[in-house]
């Protein structure tokens, strides 16, 4: 029955080893993997030993079991020392493994010389064969017991140090339980109180628990969580925090930034009453809730930059916690502030020079417009008034969302309105200042001013203004005499073929002509002018401009009341 149990343990042990091998770990712990590989061989050796009745075969299996047991316990010892932060030198390992290997020497002599210094007593228990060593073999049989005692003492020390070292108390307790049970079983077996060993059952249980808890144990080893690329950055701090908010571990550099981490126990939760706890909690919330994985924060006299990511100890495995990569960015912040300050000053200077250039351009345009008006004795103040009316119309349109007019286009229309009649500078003064109705020939000449206006604004603005504003100025100047019904000039555009800026300018141009005093007429009444404007909606003007005109009619009338009174 026990032999069958040994066989089942062997199968389970091999399967567990295969499952562990199939997992894709980014990093592996050499100690744990050595334990995982040794245990199947050890269990199989127990299974075979319980089935042999020959002395030599039993002796071979005895030697193999003692050797594997000694190696297993030595690896457990080194794993424990590594876990509490004690680095085991290579020469120390060589001495321990060498001492284990030396146990084979006298046994080999016994095989070679067939001396009777040691013998094997084989007993058939009915469930299997029990082999007991006598003579010199008794000394070798108790060598693992010495190693187990050393490991047990190491576990006790590890438990005491777990409050200061960044190791999991659960891992230490697991080692302690394994060694304690092993010593108890071994003591009973050495005293001859049991017929067959129950250690294989302990081994397979240990291997199964090791597999189940391997991922969790790796989360406490910060060197296991840091990638090879990250290890090159010795100036960086790495802090690992579990999904439940508990502290898992940190590298040595972290203690320079956060001294309190040096005394923090593994698996303890950060509290919100500490600055560091609040900071880590905020970083994790930003990452999990808002997807923000990078940032910086002031900490004492430093500025620290961080990058947070979820980590898994194997490819495709579940996320076990968060790894926060922290570095000193104080100098970077200072340099960035200097660069930002320099850029701000540069931008202010550029903006100021741009405003100066724009002001010069506007003065140039207004000067040319004044020159045109000085030549045109019929339309004094027309440019200034139409520019003001355009500003009123544009504001009304945008506030009431009457047309799809974005902020940039609205600003450009207002800026370019004074340029709409620049082409009149080329018209003969006799035609421009004629107090009577123009002849058809004279009217044809007068109509050329819109085409010339478009050409002039391109010459004035091209290369010194944005293309968008140049095109707006060109369309407004060339097409502000087009009519909705297609009877305007210079291109006879119809309906929405006429640019919006030209349609707005047309309303301002005609309304000013109606309500302003000219040398050949008095200003028209506001009521009559409004009636004419509304009658022209759909023929001369865009019908959709009716709402815009009516919305700002009172404001326009108030404006002209002041202007005409001043005249």
How do strand 237-242 and strand 247-250 relate by DSSP bridges? antiparallel
Of residues 266 and 106, the one with the higher pLDDT is 266
What's the confidence (pLDDT) of residue 116?
Answer: 46
DSSP 316: T
What's the confidence (pLDDT) of residue 125?
Answer: 61
CA 371/CA 364 separation, integer angstroms: 10
The answer to whether 249 touches 266, Cβ cutoff 8 Å, is yes
Instruction: Say whether pLDDT at 111 is over 70.
Output: no
Q: Which of 192-196, 340-344, 453-457 has the highest mean pLDDT?
A: 453-457
What's the confidence (pLDDT) of residue 477?
Answer: 92
Superfamily of domain 342-566: Hypothetical protein af1432 (1.10.3210.10)
**Residue by residue, what is the 3-state secondary structure of 111-177?**
HHHCCCCEEEEEEECCCCEEEEEEECHHHHHCHHHHHHHHHHHHHHHHHHHCCCCCCCHHHHHHHHH
Q: How confident is the model at residue 233 (pLDDT cuts 50, 70, 90)?
A: very low
Instruction: Say whether pLDDT at 286 is over 50.
Output: yes
What's the confidence (pLDDT) of residue 265?
Answer: 75
The answer to whether 333 touches 250, Cβ cutoff 8 Å, is no
Picking from 130-139, 343-352, 459-468, 484-493, which range would have the lowest pLDDT averaged per residue? 130-139
Instruction: Say whether pLDDT at 107 is over 50.
Output: yes
Instruction: Say whether pLDDT at 491 is over 50.
Output: yes
Picking from 35-49, 131-145, 189-203, 518-532, which range would have the lowest pLDDT averaged per residue? 131-145
The answer to whether 185 touches 202, Cβ cutoff 8 Å, is yes
CA 153/CA 150 separation, integer angstroms: 5
Instruction: Say whether pLDDT at 493 is over 60.
Output: yes
What is the mean predicted confidence (pLDDT) over 405-414? 89
Cα torsion 441, 446, 451, 457 to 10°: value is 160
What's the confidence (pLDDT) of residue 229?
Answer: 45
Fold agreement between 2-218 and 224-328 = no
Omega prior to 193 cis, within 30 of 0: no
What's the confidence (pLDDT) of residue 151?
Answer: 66
What is the mean predicted confidence (pLDDT) over 436-461? 86
Instruction: Say whether pLDDT at 324 is over 70.
Output: yes
Instruction: Say whether pLDDT at 108 is over 60.
Output: no
Tell me the DSSP string of 248-313: EEE-HHHHHH-GGGGGPPTTPBP-TTSHHHHHHHHHHHHHHHH---EEEEEETTEEEEEEEEEE-S
With CA atoms as reference, report the closest residue to 3 among 68, 72, 49: 49
All residues at 6 or more sequence positions from 455 whose CB lies less than 8 Å from its CB, including other chains: 423
CA 502/CA 518 separation, integer angstroms: 24
Q: Which of 184-198, 219-233, 392-406 has the highest mean pLDDT?
A: 392-406
- Say which residue the tokens 């500490």 belong to: 274
315-320, Cβ contacts within 8 angstroms, sequence gap of 24 or more: 315/24, 315/25, 315/26, 316/24, 317/23, 317/215, 318/215, 319/243, 320/215, 320/216, 320/218, 320/219, 320/242, 320/243
Q: For residue range 121-157, what is the model confidence (pLDDT) as tens digits?
A: 666 666 666 666 555 555 555 556 666 677 667 666 6
CA 366/CA 382 separation, integer angstroms: 12
The answer to whether 48 touches 131, Cβ cutoff 8 Å, is no
The count of other CB atoms within 10 Å of the CB of residue 250 is 23
In the chain, % of residues over pLDDT 70: 73
CA 194/CA 200 separation, integer angstroms: 14
Instruction: Say whether pLDDT at 195 is over 50.
Output: yes
Q: How confident is the model at residue 239 (pLDDT cuts 50, 70, 90)?
A: confident
Of residues 340 and 36, the one with the higher pLDDT is 36
What's the confidence (pLDDT) of residue 457?
Answer: 85
The answer to whether 378 touches 518, Cβ cutoff 8 Å, is yes
With CA atoms as reference, report the closest residue to 239 among 211, 261, 206: 261
Whole-angstrom Cα Rg for the chain: 47
User: If you average pLDDT over every residue of the chain, what do you get?
Assistant: 78
Instruction: Say whether pLDDT at 394 is over 90.
Output: yes
CA 435/CA 5 separation, integer angstroms: 124
What's the confidence (pLDDT) of residue 390?
Answer: 93
What's the confidence (pLDDT) of residue 428?
Answer: 81
What's the confidence (pLDDT) of residue 554?
Answer: 92
Q: How confident is the model at residue 504 (pLDDT cuts 50, 70, 90)?
A: very high
Picking from 181-190, 315-324, 421-430, 499-508, which range would have the lowest pLDDT averaged per residue? 181-190
CA 405/CA 371 separation, integer angstroms: 32
What's the confidence (pLDDT) of residue 248?
Answer: 80
What's the confidence (pLDDT) of residue 103?
Answer: 64
All residues at 6 or more sequence positions from 339 whose CB lies less than 8 Å from its CB, including other chains: none
The answer to whether 47 touches 3, Cβ cutoff 8 Å, is yes
Of residues 404 and 505, the one with the higher pLDDT is 505
Domain covering 224-328 in this structure, CATH number:
3.30.450.20
- Sorted by where each begins, the domain ranges of the chain are 2-218, 224-328, 342-566
Biggest CA–CA distance in the chain, Å, is: 148
Q: How confident is the model at residue 115 (pLDDT cuts 50, 70, 90)?
A: very low
What's the confidence (pLDDT) of residue 117?
Answer: 47
With CA atoms as reference, report the closest residue to 39 among 83, 8, 9, 63: 9
Of residues 1 and 392, the one with the higher pLDDT is 392
What is the mean predicted confidence (pLDDT) over 96-105? 72
CA 396/CA 95 separation, integer angstroms: 93
- Say which residue the tokens 């709409």 belong to: 420
Top-tier CATH class for 2-218: mainly alpha
């Amino acid at each position: 029955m026990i032999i069958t149990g040994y066989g089942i343990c062997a199968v389970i042990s091999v399967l567990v080893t295969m499952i562990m091998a199939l997992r894709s770990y980014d990093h592996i712990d050499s100690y744990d993997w050595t334990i995982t590989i040794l245990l199947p061989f050890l269990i199989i050796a127990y299974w075979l030993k319980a089935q042999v009745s020959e002395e030599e075969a039993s002796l071979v299996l005895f030697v193999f079991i003692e050797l594997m047991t000694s190696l297993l316990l030595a690896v457990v010892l080194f794993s424990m020392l590594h876990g509490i932060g004690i680095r085991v030198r290579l020469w120390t390992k060589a001495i321990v493994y060498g001492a284990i290997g030396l146990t084979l020497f006298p046994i080999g002599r016994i095989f070679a010389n067939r001396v009777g210094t040691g013998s094997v007593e084989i007993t058939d228990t009915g469930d299997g064969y029990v082999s007991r060593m006598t003579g010199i073999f008794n000394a070798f049989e108790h060598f693992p017991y010495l190693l187990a005692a050393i490991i047990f003492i190491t576990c006790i020390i590890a438990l005491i140090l777990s409050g200061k070292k960044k190791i999991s108390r659960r891992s230490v307790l697991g080692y302690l339980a394994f060694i304690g049970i092993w010593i108890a079983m071994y003591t009973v077996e050495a005293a001859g109180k049991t017929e067959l060993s129950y250690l294989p059952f302990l081994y397979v249980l240990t291997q199964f628990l090791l597999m189940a808890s391997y991922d969790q144990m790796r989360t406490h080893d910060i060197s296991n969580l840091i990638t090879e690329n990250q290890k090159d950055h010795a100036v960086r701090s790495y802090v690992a925090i579990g999904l439940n908010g508990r502290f898992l571990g940190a590298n040595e550099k972290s203690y320079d930034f956060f001294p309190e981490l040096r005394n923090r126990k593994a698996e303890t939760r950060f509290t919100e009453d500490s600055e560091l706890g609040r900071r880590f909690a905020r970083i994790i919330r930003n990452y999990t809730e808002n997807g923000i994985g990078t940032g910086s924060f002031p900490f004492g006299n430093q500025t620290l930059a961080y990058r947070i990511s979820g980590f898994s100890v194997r490819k495709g495995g579940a996320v076990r916690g968060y790894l926060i990569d922290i570095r000193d960015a104080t100098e970077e912040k200072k340099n960035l502030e200097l660069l930002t300050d320099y850029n701000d000053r540069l931008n202010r200077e550029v903006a100021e020079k741009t405003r100066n250039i724009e002001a010069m351009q506007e003065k140039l345009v207004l000067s040319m417009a004044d020159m045109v008006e000085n030549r045109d004795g019929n339309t004094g103040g027309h440019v200034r008034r139409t520019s003001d009316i355009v500003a009123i119309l544009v504001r009304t349109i945008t506030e009431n969302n009457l047309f799809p007019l974005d902020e940039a286009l609205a600003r450009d229309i207002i800026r370019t309105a004074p340029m709409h009649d620049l082409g009149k500078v080329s018209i003969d003064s006799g035609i421009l200042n004629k107090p009577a109705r123009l002849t058809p020939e004279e009217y044809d000449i007068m109509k050329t001013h819109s085409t010339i206006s478009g050409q002039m604004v391109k010459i004035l603005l091209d290369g010194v203004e944005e293309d968008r504003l140049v095109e707006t100025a060109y369309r407004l100047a060339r097409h502000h005499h087009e009519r909705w019904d297609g009877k305007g000039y210079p291109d006879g555009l119809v309906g929405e073929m006429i640019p919006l800026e030209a349609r707005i300018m047309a309303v301002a141009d005609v309304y000013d002509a109606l309500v302003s005093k000219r040398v050949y007429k008095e200003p028209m009444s506001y009521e009559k002018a409004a009636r004419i404007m509304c009658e022209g909606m759909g023929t001369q003007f865009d019908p959709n401009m009716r709402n815009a005109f009516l919305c700002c009619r009172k404001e326009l009338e108030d404006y002209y009341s002041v202007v005409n009174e001043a005249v």
